[in-house]
C-alpha cells in the first residue's frame, strides 16, 4: 500500500503525527494517475503544477502550526464545477477551452480547508448519463475491470477514488450520479439533502434535482468532507439556512433503530447476487440490534418515468444559455438563428440533444399538463409516501444499482435500458432526501455491490450512523485487481 491508497482520515492522522507530508501523498496520487490514466481515463485535466505547489504550501503552513480540516489532502473535482482559471468543460465540445473567472462555492470551501485540488474528472456530457460513455473526450473505464463502465455521470470521480488517483472526489447527483458509480466502483458515494450543499458554480443540469456530494473510501471520509462543503450559501437561492447536522455519532451502531426495506426495489431486472448481498446485510443489521420492516413505496415504480420528464424539461431551459453568443463554442452562420443552430449541432452530443428535445416537447403548449405537470404530481405523491414511510422507520435500505458494472457499449444503443440503471437512486433526488451508497461485497465475477441507505430530509446524522454500521459489518477491504502491480 502506498500513500495513494490511504483514506482521508488515515492521511490526516499520518500528517498530524508527522509520519508523512502532503507533498509525499500528492506525489503518490499523481504517480498513480500516471500509471492508470492511459487505461482508465478518469481525468480531463490534471493540474500537476498547481497540486504540487498547493501541497508544498500546505506543508509549510503545517510546520507553522496552521492546520485546517482537509490540510494537504488531494481531492479531485467533477468537471462540471467551476474552477478559477482551470478549464471546465462538462465533457462537452460546446465548452471546450472555457476557463471560469471564479471558483464554485464547494471549491472555495475545499481550498479554504487546505485541500489540494488534483484536477477535473471525466463525466457524461453535462452529467447526462449512467456510464460515463457520453463524454465528448472519451469514456472512463472501471478499475475493477477496464472492459466495464464505472457508472455515471460521476464515473471519473468514482474511478479516480477507486484507483487511488485521488483520496476523495466531489461529484454531482441529479438522479443517482454519485451513488450509482460509487456502487459500481466499490467506494462510498453520498448525496446530501437538497440544499445542504451550495450549487453556486455547479453547471446546471436540472436545478431542482442537482446536488453536490463526496465520493470517498469510507463513510467517515464522506462525513468529514460534507462538514466542510456543506452549510448555507447566500449565493445559492435554494441553500438551506439551518445549521449543519451533528456528525460525531458515526460509531453509535444501530441498536434500537427502525430500518425499512423497500419492497419495490427487487424482482425483475435485479441481479440475484445484488439481491442476496442486500438481504444478507439486512439480516446482519437485525443481528446488530435494529428492527426491520418491509415498507411499500408504490410510486417507486413510476418515479423513473417522472424523472425523465422533469429532468429533461429543466435541462432544456438550463442549456438554452449555450448559444454561441456569450461563451464556449461558436459556429458561424449567415444570421443569428443559423449560428445558434450550427453551434448547438456541433457542440452537443446525441444524449444531450435527446434530452433537450424531450424536455422541450414536455414543456410545449398542449403537452405541458399532460407530461410535465403530471410528472410533478407524481413527484408530490412520492414525497408524501416517503414522509409516511419515515413516520414508521428511521431509514430505508435498498440496492444502489440493480446490477453490478456492465460491459462497455452494452447499453449505449438502448437508452431505456441505460435509464433503468438509475431506478433505485432517482427517488431520493425527486424527494430531495439524503442517500448514501456503501460497498458490501463482490458478485461472483468479482465486481463490487453497493447498498443504499436513504434518510429523511435533513436526517444525515442517523443515515450516516447506519451507513457506518453497514461499513463495519461488511468489512469491505477488496481492491481493484489492477492496483496490485502499483501498491
Does residue 124 register a pLDDT over 70?
A: yes
Structural domain boundaries in the chain: 3-257+391-486
Instruction: Say how far apart CA 259 and CA 405 lie, in whole Å.
Output: 27
Is 455:435 a contact under the CB 8 Å cutoff? yes
Q: Is the peptide bond before 69 cis (omega within 30 degrees of 0)?
A: no
Catalytic site residue from 71, 153, 157, 183: 153
- Give residue 328's pLDDT: 86
Q: Is 14 annotated in the active site?
A: no
Q: Is 64 annotated in the active site?
A: no
Helix (H, G, I), strand (E, B) or coil at 294: strand
Domain spanning 3-257+391-486: which superfamily? Amidase signature (AS) domain (3.90.1300.10)
E strand spans, 176-282 = 188-191, 211-216, 258-262
The C-alpha cell 412520492 sits at: 382
- Give residue 487's pLDDT: 65
Does residue 484 register a pLDDT over 90?
A: no
- Give residue 316's pLDDT: 96
Mean pLDDT confidence for 4-22: 97
- Give residue 248's pLDDT: 80
The four Cα atoms 58, 63, 64, 68 give a dihedral, to 10 degrees, of: 40
Q: Is 153 annotated in the active site?
A: yes
- Give residue 416's pLDDT: 87
C-alpha cell at 97: 477551452
User: How many Cα atoms occupy the beta-carbon half-sphere of 116 within 13 Å?
Assistant: 35
Residue range 34-46, pLDDT digits in tens: 999 999 999 999 9
Does residue 137 register a pLDDT over 90?
A: yes
Furthest C-alpha separation in the chain: 71
Binned at pLDDT 50, 70 and 90, residue 183 comes out as very high
Residues 6+ apart with CB under 8 A from 155: 122, 123, 124, 131, 132, 139, 140, 149, 181, 185
The pairing of strands 435-442 and 188-191 is antiparallel
Helix 374-392 crosses helix 300-318 at what angle (to 10 degrees)?
Answer: 130
CA angle 362, 353, 410 (to 5 degrees): 105
Mean pLDDT of the chain: 96
Is 111:119 a contact under the CB 8 Å cutoff? no
3-state secondary structure 40-82: HCCEEEECHHHHHHHHHHHHHHHHCCCCCCCCCCEEEEECCEC
138: left (phi over 0), alpha (psi -120 to 50) or beta: left
Residues 6+ apart with CB under 8 A from 219: 188, 250, 436, 438, 464, 467, 468, 471
Binned at pLDDT 50, 70 and 90, residue 178 comes out as very high
Instruction: Say how far apart CA 279 and CA 292 lie, in whole Å.
Output: 11
Mean pLDDT confidence for 310-332: 93
Mean pLDDT confidence for 403-430: 95
Does residue 486 register a pLDDT over 80?
A: no
Instruction: Say how far apart CA 189 and CA 179 lie, in whole Å.
Output: 5
Is 80:90 a contact under the CB 8 Å cutoff? yes
Q: In what order do the strands lie in the sheet with 435-442?
A: 43-46, 116-121, 74-78, 168-173, 211-216, 188-191, 435-442, 448-455, 395-399, 258-262, 291-295
Nearest-CA neighbor of 469 among 183, 311, 320, 255? Answer: 255
Mean pLDDT confidence for 352-380: 95
Nearest-CA neighbor of 87 among 116, 38, 129, 121? Answer: 121
Does residue 319 register a pLDDT over 80?
A: yes
Instruction: Say how far apart CA 104 and CA 385 lie, in whole Å.
Output: 34
Instruction: Say how far apart CA 288 and CA 256 lie, in whole Å.
Output: 9
Residue range 200-223, pLDDT digits in tens: 999 999 999 999 999 999 999 999
Is 211:239 a contact under the CB 8 Å cutoff? no
Mean pLDDT confidence for 408-414: 94
Residue range 384-407, pLDDT digits in tens: 999 999 999 999 999 999 999 999
Residue range 224-283, pLDDT digits in tens: 999 999 999 999 999 999 999 988 879 899 999 999 999 999 999 999 999 999 999 999
Mean pLDDT confidence for 292-299: 97
Instruction: Say how far apart CA 121 and CA 42 lie, in whole Å.
Output: 6
Catalytic site residue from 58, 91, 177, 401: 177
Instruction: Say how far apart CA 230 and CA 21 lie, in whole Å.
Output: 27
Residue range 277-293, pLDDT digits in tens: 999 999 999 999 999 99
Mean pLDDT confidence for 3-22: 97
Instruction: Say how far apart CA 344 and CA 329 lie, in whole Å.
Output: 9
Catalytic site residue from 78, 120, 191, 411: 78
Amino acid at each position: 500500500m502506498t500513500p495513494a491508497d490511504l483514506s482521508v482520515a488515515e492521511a490526516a492522522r499520518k500528517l498530524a503525527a508527522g509520519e508523512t507530508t502532503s507533498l509525499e501523498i500528492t506525489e503518490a496520487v499523481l504517480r498513480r494517475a500516471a500509471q492508470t490514466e492511459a487505461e482508465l481515463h478518469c481525468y480531463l485535466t490534471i493540474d500537476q503544477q498547481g497540486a504540487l505547489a498547493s501541497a508544498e504550501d500546505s506543508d509549510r503552513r503545517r510546520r507553522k502550526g496552521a492546520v485546517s480540516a482537509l490540510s494537504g489532502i488531494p481531492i479531485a473535482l467533477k468537471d462540471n464545477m467551476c474552477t478559477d482559471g482551470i478549464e471546465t468543460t462538462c465533457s462537452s465540445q460546446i465548452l471546450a477551452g472555457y476557463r471560469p473567472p471564479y471558483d464554485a462555492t464547494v471549491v472555495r470551501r475545499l481550498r479554504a480547508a487546505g485541500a489540494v485540488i488534483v484536477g477535473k474528472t471525466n463525466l457524461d456530457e453535462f452529467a447526462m448519463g449512467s456510464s460515463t460513455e457520453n463524454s465528448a473526450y472519451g469514456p472512463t473505464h472501471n478499475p475493477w475491470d477496464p472492459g466495464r463502465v464505472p457508472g455515471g455521470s460521476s464515473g471519473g470521480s468514482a474511478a479516480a477514488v477507486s484507483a487511488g488517483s485521488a483520496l476523495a472526489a466531489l461529484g454531482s447527483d441529479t438522479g443517482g450520479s454519485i451513488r450509482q458509480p460509487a456502487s459500481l466502483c466499490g467506494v462510498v458515494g453520498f448525496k446530501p439533502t437538497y440544499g445542504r450543499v451550495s450549487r453556486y458554480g455547479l453547471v446546471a443540469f436540472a436545478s431542482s434535482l442537482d446536488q453536490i456530494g463526496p465520493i470517498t473510501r469510507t463513510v467517515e471520509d464522506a462525513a468529514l468532507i460534507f462538514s466542510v462543503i456543506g452549510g448555507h450559501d447566500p449565493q445559492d437561492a435554494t441553500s438551506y439556512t439551518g445549521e449543519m447536522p451533528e456528525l460525531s455519532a458515526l460509531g453509535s451502531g444501530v441498536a434500537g433503530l427502525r430500518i425499512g426495506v423497500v419492497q419495490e426495489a427487487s424482482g425483475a431486472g435485479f441481479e440475484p447476487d445484488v439481491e442476496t448481498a442486500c438481504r444478507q446485510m439486512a439480516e446482519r443489521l437485525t443481528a446488530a440490534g435494529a428492527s426491520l420492516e418491509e415498507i411499500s413505496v408504490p410510486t417507486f415504480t413510476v418515479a423513473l418515468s417522472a424523472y425523465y420528464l422533469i429532468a429533461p424539461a429543466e435541462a432544456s431551459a438550463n442549456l438554452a444559455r449555450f448559444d454561441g453568443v456569450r461563451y464556449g463554442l461558436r459556429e458561424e452562420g449567415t444570421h443569428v438563428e443559423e449560428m445558434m443552430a450550427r453551434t448547438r449541432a456541433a457542440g452537443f452530443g446525441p444524449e444531450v440533444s435527446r434530452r433537450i428535445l424531450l424536455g422541450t416537447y414536455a414543456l410545449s403548449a398542449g403537452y405541458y399538463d399532460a407530461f410535465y405537470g403530471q410528472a410533478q404530481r407524481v413527484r408530490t405523491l412520492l414525497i408524501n409516501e416517503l414522509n409516511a414511510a419515515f413516520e414508521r422507520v428511521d431509514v430505508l435500505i435498498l440496492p444502489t444499482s440493480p446490477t453490478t458494472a456492465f460491459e462497455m457499449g452494452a447499453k449505449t444503443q438502448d437508452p431505456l435500458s441505460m435509464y433503468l440503471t438509475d431506478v433505485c437512486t432517482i427517488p431520493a433526488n425527486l424527494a430531495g432526501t439524503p442517500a448514501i451508497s456503501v460497498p458490501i461485497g463482490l458478485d461472483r465475477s468479482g465486481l463490487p455491490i453497493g447498498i443504499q441507505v436513504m434518510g429523511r430530509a435533513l436526517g444525515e446524522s442517523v443515515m450516516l450512523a447506519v451507513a457506518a454500521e453497514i461499513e463495519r459489518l461488511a468489512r469491505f477491504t477488496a481492491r481493484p485487481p489492477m492496483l496490485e502491480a502499483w501498491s
